[in-house]
Structure 1
Amino acid sequence: MDFFDLDGYMCLTCHFIDNNWTLQKRVLSYTFMPPPHSGLALSTKIHNLLCEWGLEGRVFSITLDNAYTNDLSVDTLRDELNLKDLLVCKGDHFHMRCCAHILNLIVQEGMKGVDPSIVKIRESVKYVKGSQARKQKFLECVSLVSSGNKGLSQDVSTRWNSTYLMLQSAIHHRRAFQHLDLIDSNYKYCPSKVEWEKIEQFCSFLKVFYDSTLMFSGTNYPTANLYFPAVYLCYIELKKQMEGDNEHLKVMASKMWLKFEKYWSEFCGTLAIACVLDPRYKMTFINFVYTKIYGECSLEFHRFNTKLQSLFDAYESSHSLQPSSSNALSNDHNVRNDDTFDTMEAFKVRILFYLFYIVCFINVD
C-alpha cells in the first residue's frame, strides 16, 4: 500500500440559495488534514475556514456523517460560535446529520444476516458475469424469453442500495435465469418459486427507502423540506411490515425500527420546520403526521410548536420585523389578524432564505 494513501483530507462545501432563489453549491476548501483527526482539530480547521471566507456569522446548520469525532467537532464549534452569539436559537438547529447516511444505517441494520434467497441472486449474478461464455449464454436466454435489454447489476455488500438494484435487475430477468437453469447443468443457484416471491417482497419493501435516498441525494434542489414527508413514508412502511404476516420482513423491519426511532426523535423537529415552509405541506401536514404517530394534542407536537415559535421570534428580533401578536402560530384559523399574517409571510420569506442559506457538508477521509 502506498504510504500516501493514508493521508487525510477534508472537503468543506456550502449550499445556499441566492437572491434569485437558485440553489448554489460551492466547494470552499479541499485541504490536507494532518493528524490528529480529533474533534478539536476538526472544529478548529472548520472555524478557520469559515473565518477565512467571512462566513462565521452566516451558518445556519452543518451536516456531517455519524462518526463520533464529527459529533465532538460540531459540539466544540457550536460552543465557540455561541460565545460570539453567532448562531440562530443558540445553535439548537446547528447539527444536522446526513439524511441519506442515516437511511443507509437503518437499512444496513435490517440487512444483517442476509436471507438465503438474496445469496442465491448474488451467486447467480456472479456466475453469469464470471466468463464471457456464460454472459453469451445468458444473453441468449434473455433473447429467447424476451426480457429486454436491461443490464444485470452486481452488488457491493457494504452498499445496500446496490443490493436493491441487483435484486431489481434479477427480477426483471427472472425467466432468463429460469431458462439458464434448464440448459446449463453447472448453474446451481437459481431461486425457487417461493424464493423469487420472497425477493419481490424484499424489493417492494426496500423501494421506499431507495426512493427516499435518491431524493435526499439531489444536488439541483433543496432537500431539507423533503425529509419529513419522505421519512414519514418510511415510518409507515416499517409499521406496516412489523404488523404484517410476513415473518422475514417483520424481523427485518423490527431491526430497522430500533435505528429509525433513535434518529427520528433526534432530528424530526428541525426538518419538520422546513416542511412547514413548503407551501405544498404547511402546518396541516405536520399536524397530520404528529397526530398519526403520537395522537391528538401530543406533547411532541407541542414541543415542535414551541421550537417553531422560538425560531420565528429569533428571526423577528434579528431582522427587525414588525411586532406580531402572541398567537402568531395559533391554531385558531377562524380569525385572521392581518398584522400577524404580514409578519408571518415576512418570516417565511426570510427563513426560507436563511434555512438553506449555508449548510456545510464535511467529509473527512
Structure 2
Amino acid sequence: MGPKKCSVITVSLKGQSNLFLPPQAPRSDSANGIQTWKYDQANIREVVSHMIMVHELPFAFTEYELFTLLMKIASPHHKCLQNWGIKGKVCLIFVGSASYNDAVVRMLKDSLSFHKRLPLNGKLFHVHCCAHILNLLVHDGLSKIEDVIDNVRESVKYITASTVPLTMFSDIVKQLQLPNKRLILDCCTRWNATYAMLSCVLEFKDVFLWYAQRDASYKYFPSDEDWVKVQEVCSFLALFNEVNNIISGSECPTSNLFLPKLWSIKELLMEKSLSEELWMRQMVDKMQIKFDKYWVECSLLISIAAILDPSNKMKLIYFSFCVIYSEEEASR
C-alpha cells in the first residue's frame, strides 16, 4: 500500500450565520422580522481602518486592552486550531515584534504547552524576525544622535524642495568636479534609508559648505562636529547594512549565516563601547541592551542552523560563543 495522503480540508469563506432582529422591525410575536447575519472579518478590518483615519487615532489603538476585549466579545469563536487539526503539528512560529504578536504567541504557546506537544518545552517556538530586530537595534542607537540626523535631513529637504536651490547645488558639484549624484531623502522609519542618506550627504560635504556661503536663507548647515559624527556613524553602520542585505536575501537560504554575522555585530558593539567619544558609547550601550535581549530568545535556533551547515558544525559555536558570552556562560 502506498503512503497515506492527508485529507483535504475544505475551507468555507461564507462564515457562520447568526440570527438578529433589525431595529426597524415592528414588535410582533411572529418571527417575520428575524434575519440572518454573519461576522465578516474583512468588513470589520475596513471599518476599523476608516475609523482610525477619520478620527485621527493612533495605529496602536487596535492594541488597546479594552479594544481587544471588544473584539473578543464580538467574535468569541476562535477554533481554527481544532478545525485545521494543527495543534500537534506546530513546532515554531516567526513573527514581527509588535506587542499584539507577543500576546497572541504567548496564548498559543500556553495552549500547546499544556498538551506537551512542543519540542524542547517550547524553547524553539517563538522566533522574532531577525531583520526587524536589527532595524529596532539601529533605531535605538540612532536616537542618540537624532539632532544631527534631523539637521542633515532638513538640509536635503531644503536643497531638493525647489528648482533654484537644487540648480545652485548642482552647479557647485560641477565646479568641484564631483560625481553627478542625486541627494537621497530618507524614510525615517527605515534605518538603511537613513544610512544611504548620510553616506550620500557625506560625499557632498564641501558642496554644502560652498552652498551655505551663497544662500543666506539656508540655516541647516551641519557643524564640524556634526560632520565627524556623520562620518563615524556611516563607518559604524556599514557592517549593519551588509548584514541586513544577507538576512533579507531571498534567492537562497541564509539562516546558516545569521550566527557569524550576529557575532560580528556583537564584536563591533563591544569595540565601540570602549570609544573615547561619549555619544558613541551612549549609542552603542543602548544597542547592546536590545542585542542581548534578542540573543537570549533566539540563540538556540540560530545556533542549530549554523551547526547544520557542514562548513561550520560546532567549530563556529566554540569560536563565537566565547565572544558573545563570558567564558563561564559560553561553557554552560
Partner of 1:241: 272
Is residue 144 of structure 1 aligned with residue 175 of structure 2?
A: yes
The one-letter amino acid of 1:269's match is: L
Partner of 1:273: 304
Partner of 2:19: none
Give, in angstroms, the shift of residue 7 of structure 1: 8.3
Taking a change above 3 Å as real, the CA distance of residues 51 and 123 of structure 1, as seen in their structure-2 partners, is same
Secondary structure, in 3 states, of the residue corresponding to 1:185?
coil
Partner of 1:226: 257
Give, in angstroms, the shift of residue 4 of structure 1: 5.5
The one-letter amino acid of 1:169's match is: C
Whole-angstrom distance in 2 between the partners of 1:37 and 1:283: 45
What is the alpha-carbon root mean square deviation over aligned residues? 3.1
Give, in angstroms, the shift of residue 78 of structure 1: 2.7
Give, in angstroms, the shift of residue 124 of structure 1: 0.9
Whole-angstrom distance in 2 between the partners of 1:234 and 1:107: 11
The one-letter amino acid of 2:80's match is: N
Secondary structure, in 3 states, of the residue corresponding to 1:105?
helix
Whole-angstrom distance in 1 between the partners of 2:81 and 2:91: 16
Secondary structure, in 3 states, of the residue corresponding to 1:282?
coil
Whole-angstrom distance in 2 between the partners of 1:78 and 1:115: 38
Q: Identity, % of aligned pairs?
A: 34
Taking a change above 3 Å as real, the CA distance of residues 118 and 75 of structure 1, as seen in their structure-2 partners, is closer
Whole-angstrom distance in 2 between the partners of 1:192 and 1:82: 57
Which of residues 137, 142, 165 is equivalent to 2:196?
165
User: Within 5 A, what are the aligned runs for 1:1-365?
Assistant: 3=47, 5-6=49-50, 48=80, 52=84, 57-82=88-113, 86-296=117-327, 298-302=328-332
Contact 1:147/1:176 (8 A) holds in 2 = no
Say which structure, 1 or 2, has more relative contact order (CA 8 Å, 6+ apart): 1
Contact 2:267/2:324 (8 A) holds in 1 = no
How many aligned residue pairs are there? 271
Whole-angstrom distance in 2 between the partners of 1:56 and 1:196: 56
Give the greater-gyration-radius structure (CA). 2
Taking a change above 3 Å as real, the CA distance of residues 278 and 201 of structure 1, as seen in their structure-2 partners, is same
Give, in angstroms, the shift of residue 152 of structure 1: 1.3
Whole-angstrom distance in 2 between the partners of 1:88 and 1:143: 63
Contact 1:242/1:249 (8 A) holds in 2 = yes
Taking a change above 3 Å as real, the CA distance of residues 138 and 92 of structure 1, as seen in their structure-2 partners, is same
Taking a change above 3 Å as real, the CA distance of residues 217 and 284 of structure 1, as seen in their structure-2 partners, is same
Deviations 1:134-190 (A, max 9, x none): 222222222222322333111233332222111011012223222322332322322
